[in-house]
Amino acid sequence: MATGFRNLTVYKKAFSLAMDIFELIKSFPDNEKYGLVSQIRNSSRSVCSNIGEEYRKRQYPAHFVSKMSDADMENTETPVWLDFSLACGYITDDLHTEYNSRSEEIGRLLNDMIKYPKKYS
């Protein structure tokens, strides 16, 4: 049974997006392994790891907000790599739109946590 940060809607959504990206990038060309693949995989996964770390800091509002800001920063990076994936022809317009929409929703949830940290302590 999931506990703590794993129960947060934002974590569930971020984890789901990161896993979908992980499956997607398996089809990217080998020459992207250390470039685009690495970047998009790392940024999408970092959202989740920052949420996990921040959850342990929730009793310290300044630390909590700082980690949430880190998660938001990583979440904002992921669409940049999605843009490159689209421009390189590795993903469809529909998939680009869907993943960007999911990232925007995650961003809204993270920003709520940043604005109202006491709700999560």
**Closest to 90 measured CA to CA, from 19, 17, 24, 39:** 24
Rounded Cα gap, residues 109 and 103, in angstroms: 10
11-63 pLDDT per residue, tens: 999 999 999 999 999 999 999 988 999 999 999 999 999 999 888 878 888 88
Q: How many CA atoms lie within 13 A of 46 on its CB side?
A: 18
For the full predicted model, state whether its pTM sits above 0.75: yes
| CATH number corresponding to 20-120 | 1.20.1440.60
Instruction: Please state the domain extents for the chain.
Output: 20-120
- Would you give the distance in Å from CA 95 to the centre of its chain? 16
